[in-house]
Amino acid sequence: MSARKPYIRSMDAWWLRDSFFVRYMLREATALFVVAYALVLLAGVVCLARGPTAYQAWLRILATPWSIALHVVLLLVFLYHTWSWFRIMPKTMSLILPSGKHLSPALVTTAGLLAAALLCIGLFLAVRL
């Protein structure tokens, strides 16, 4: 009697087989970019604590073409992150009105994106003024 080998399904690139999982993995990967930007900001705080010379050096680094390109990439990644986050919000948090009806998923997503945009604009104006 021969023993059969058990079937073992390959897990290589499992997330590439379904567009849902590709979007999921991209959304999760944006967290790495959030960490990278948090480290950039932390470096700025450390330089600020070290004094005006160190802070001015950090600002000069931020003005380099490589840093500006990094910030453009980070902006695009954060826009995708924000859009995808508010797009899944109705699936993770079903808002029920006092009448017992559910808010439409499109309304929840639109309200979240609008709130995020308004807060970003308000923060930008507060910093610039």
Residue 51 placed within a domain: yes
CATH of the domain at 73: 1.20.1300.10
- Rounded to 10°, the helix 65-92/105-128 angle is 150
Residue 60 placed within a domain: yes
Q: Dihedral (C-alpha) 62, 117, 34, 129: value to the nearest 10 degrees?
A: 30
Cα separation, 15 vs 27, whole angstroms: 12
Q: Quickly list H helices, the chain.
A: 19-50, 52-62, 65-92, 105-128
Q: What is the mean pLDDT of residues 97-118?
A: 88
Cβ 30 vs Cβ 87: under 8 Å: no
Cβ 63 vs Cβ 120: under 8 Å: no
Residue 53 placed within a domain: yes
User: Where residue 20 falls among pLDDT bands split at 50, 70, 90?
Assistant: confident
Per the model's pLDDT, the better-predicted residue between 95 and 92 turns out to be 92
Residue 25 placed within a domain: yes
Residue 118 placed within a domain: yes
Cβ 87 vs Cβ 110: under 8 Å: no
User: Where residue 118 falls among pLDDT bands split at 50, 70, 90?
Assistant: very high
Range of the domain at 111: 14-93+102-128
Residue 46 placed within a domain: yes
Residues in the chain, total: 129
Residue 6 placed within a domain: no
Residue 67 placed within a domain: yes
Q: How many domains does the chain have?
A: 1
How many C-alpha atoms does 35 have within 13 Å on its Cβ side?
Answer: 5
